[in-house]
Amino acid sequence: MQNKLQELTDKLYQDGLAKGKEEGDKYLADARAQAEKIVADAKAEAARIVAKAEKEAADLAGKAKSDVKMASEQALQATRKDIENILTDSIVKAGTVKALSEADFLKEIILAVAKNFSAQESADLEIVLPEALKKDLAPWVEANLAKTLKGGVKASFSKKIAGGFTIGPADGGWFVSLTDETFVDLIGEYLRPVTKKLLFGE
């Protein structure tokens, strides 16, 4: 009886031990599977983050490179434009302003333009001349220019005009600007393509 009790106890112990080991192995396998899944998920997430960071870095580098290239091209174009302007101004401005500030030269141009106006219509003309040349031009306008034209001519003088003149009908409907600034712009526009070709081969 004692032996049977011992055998039963041993059997229960062995069964319990085997069952406990089996459950322990199962829990351990589940834990390992979960750990492996967590590690795999973490690796996948890390790879995704790294790939995203690399893409963002590449995009940023590409954008920075593009921005630098664009800024360089704009700076180059601006520099070229400045060189063109400096060269064109140095060629055109000094000579034009000087010529259009000389009374005798202005008289020739005014006469040619005024005659053309007078040939088309006999309306009175208004002309605005440089204040600096008033002493030389005022008597000439009254004595010579007025006699040449069909209509009358009214002259005024402005400090805003350094050289050249503006001319148009006295009613003020419109006028033609032939000031030094207008001539510089006009000649400059003609010379700019030539200057660009000479400087940059374009």
- CA distances to 32, 122, 134 from 156, rounded to whole Å, are 103, 20, 9
CA angle 114, 118, 123 (to 5 degrees): 110
Give CA–CA dist 151/164, Å, rounded. Answer: 22
Report helix, strand or coil for 174. Answer: coil
Tens place of pLDDT per residue across the chain (202 aa): 566 667 667 666 666 666 767 776 777 777 777 777 777 777 878 788 888 878 887 888 788 788 777 876 776 676 667 666 666 666 666 777 777 778 888 888 888 887 776 556 666 788 888 998 899 888 888 888 877 776 778 888 999 888 888 888 877 777 778 787 877 777 777 767 766 676 666 6
pTM more than 0.75: no
Give CA–CA dist 179/96, Å, rounded. Answer: 10
Q: What's the pLDDT at 17?
A: 65
Q: Pick the closest to residue 179 from 169, 170, 168, 193 (CA basis).
A: 168
Provide the edge-to-edge strand list for the sheet that holds 176-179: 153-158, 125-130, 164-169, 176-179
Domains in the chain: boundaries? 1-84, 100-200
163-173: burial string, b at 16+ Cβ within 10 Å, e else: bbbbbbeeeee
Q: Pick the closest to residue 153 from 186, 182, 129 (CA basis).
A: 129
- Chain centre distance of CA 24: 74
What is the residue-wise DSSP string for 151-164? S-EEEEEETT-SSE
User: What architecture (CATH level 2) is domain 100-200?
Assistant: 2-Layer Sandwich (3.30)
Ranges of beta strands (E only) in the chain are: 125-130, 153-158, 164-169, 176-179
